[in-house]
Structures are given as structure tokens and as C-alpha cells.
Chains A and B, each alone.
Chain A
Amino acid sequence: MIDMPLTHILVLGAILFSLGILAVIVKRHAVVVLMGIELVFNAANLNLVAFNRYQPELMGGQVFSLFVMVIAAAETAVALALVLKVYQYFRTINLDQIRQTSED
């Protein structure tokens, strides 16, 4: 029953990671870039949970995937606060149209 092949789980993680990186590179809407970063986080989480089977007593993989989720939540909160601030100032969140970092 546990013969779920580890290689396939890792390949699934690799696919999700690459798609997240692709979304980060290709998309210009700041929130979609954030979604790509979430995909990368989830791919890392999948790998951590998959490798957890080698130490079921210590639960290191699952515990660290919980830490990853906490960091992701914190990152999303800060990023969306920045997105709202940038939108109030520039009236756009297209990353290619935001060129100045300070008002001068």
C-alpha cells in the first residue's frame, strides 16, 4: 500500500516547481507572480512530506513543512501589503511599469 513511488512524487514536485518559476518569469501581474511563488513553496512542501517516510519517528519533514507554511503565510501578508501600497501610489501593479523606488 505504501508503494507509492518516491520518484514519482519528486517528479511531481519538480513539475510544480518549474511551473511556479515559469509563472514568476512570464507573468507581469504582481499577484500572479505571488501565486507562482506559492507554487514553489508547495513543491518544496511536497518533497519534505515525501521524504518524511524515512524518519517517521522524528517527523522532521512534516514539521518543517509546517514551518514552510508559516513562512509562506507571513510572506503573502507582507507582499500583499506592499502590492496595495504600490497600487495606491502608481495606480498599477504591472511590474514592468514600476520603475522608481522613491518619490523625488
Chain B
Amino acid sequence: MNTVLLLFYVFGFLAILAAAFIVYTRNVLYAAFGLLVTLLSLAAIFVLLFADFVALTQLMVYVGGVLVLILFGIMLSNRVAGRAIQSESVNIFSGSLAAGVLFSWLVYFILTAKDILKLPGPDLVNNSVAAKSSITTIGIRLITNFALPFEVTSFILLIALMGAAYISTPEHHD
């Protein structure tokens, strides 16, 4: 078993474990740290998949931005100081049933689509594309092939952030 495959299984197991911990734990702060471990493991898996820029963006946007926002949300919506913030669970049976059915459905389709998935992918190691960083290619594609989605996404981000700033400011009675 080669090193890359071993690392993939280690980080994948870590991601699953931390994601299960998010569902299991009742402490909201612990759940946030579980999400942190999941995001870091997924960043490592992205590196193993030759997606270095996506992994860096995952670290900066998710770990540095989204997770900090979530932690702020937990801190600011906490009434009693000095006590752990609990999150109760409901619908455990029906929720597990729904998630289990969804999971087996997904795995069924993944396994039956094997003939499609076995299409020989390009050998990334011997391919000159992967020998250099993917940043150059992504940058070129962002302003050529994907220019319209790029602009639309930037508008969505601008509008969403303006809306969030407007919503969260205290109301002005004037």
C-alpha cells in the first residue's frame, strides 16, 4: 500500500470521525471543533487529489472565515455565561432512518455506476499539467471559460454580505 493511499484513508477516517462527533456531541462548542477537524482533513485530501489551490482556499475561507463566523455566532447567541451551550436532539430515530436510507441509496448508485467510474483517468503524475501548480490553470480558466459564473458569484457574494451587514445592524429609529 503506497503512502498516498494510506494518507487518504487516515484523513478520510479522521473526517468521518469528526463529522460523526458533530452529530453525537451535545456541546455546541465541541461540535465547532469537530467541524474544524473535518475541514482540515478535507483540505489534506484535496492536497492528495492534486488540488493545491482548492486546499489553500479551503484553509483560508472555511477554517479562517466560516468557522470563525460560526464561533462568533455561538458566542453571541449564548444567554448564560459559564455554562456549556447545549444542543438538544430530536427525531433521532426518523433522522437516522432518513440519513441511512439516503446513504445506502447513494452508495448503491456509486457501486452500480462502476463501469462509468472506471473510465481511465489521465495519469496525473506523468502528465505535465499536474507537474506544475494548478493555480495558473485555474486563474486562466476563471477569466476565460468560467468568466460568467465568476462574475455572478462575485455579485452574489457582494449582495449577500451587504444584506448580512444590513440585517445584523441594530435598527435605527429615526
Contact = CB atoms under 8 A, between A and B. Distances in A.
B19 A87 contact: no
Interface residues of B, number: 92
Contacts of B141: 58-60, 63
B4 interface: yes
Interface of B: 2, 4-5, 8-9, 12, 15-16, 19-20, 22-23, 28, 31-32, 35, 38-39, 42, 45-46, 48-51, 53-54, 57-58, 61-62, 65-66, 69-70, 72-74, 76-77, 79, 85-92, 94-96, 98-100, 102-103, 106-107, 110-111, 114, 117, 119, 121-125, 127, 129-130, 134, 137-138, 141-142, 145-146, 149-150, 153-154, 156-157, 160-161, 163-165, 167-168
Interface residues of A, number: 75
B4 A53 contact: no
A93 B74 CA distance: 10
A34 B61 CA distance: 16
Contact of A73 (B66, B138, B145): B66
Given A10-B110, A11-B110, A66-B54, 13 more contacts: A14-B106, A22-B98, A26-B96, A27-B89, A31-B74, A32-B31, A42-B38, A54-B121, A69-B58, A74-B156, A77-B161, A77-B164, A78-B160
A17 B123 CA distance: 28
A1 B3 CA distance: 9
B87 A80 contact: no
A32 B22 contact: yes
21 contacts: A2-B124, A3-B2, A9-B8, A9-B49, A10-B110, A11-B110, A15-B16, A15-B103, A18-B106, A22-B99, A26-B90, A32-B22, A38-B66, A45-B58, A53-B124, A59-B134, A62-B138, A66-B54, A70-B154, A81-B164, A84-B77
B166 to A, nearest CB: 8
B157 A74 contact: yes
B79 A91 contact: yes
Interface in A41-66: 42, 45-46, 49-50, 52-54, 56-60, 62-66
A2 B142 CA distance: 26
Given A35-B70, A56-B124, A63 B167 contact: no
Contacts of B31: 32, 35
A49 B95 contact: no
Given A15-B103, A22-B99, A76-B70, A8 B12 contact: yes
Contacts of B146: 60, 63-64
A62 to B, nearest CB: 5
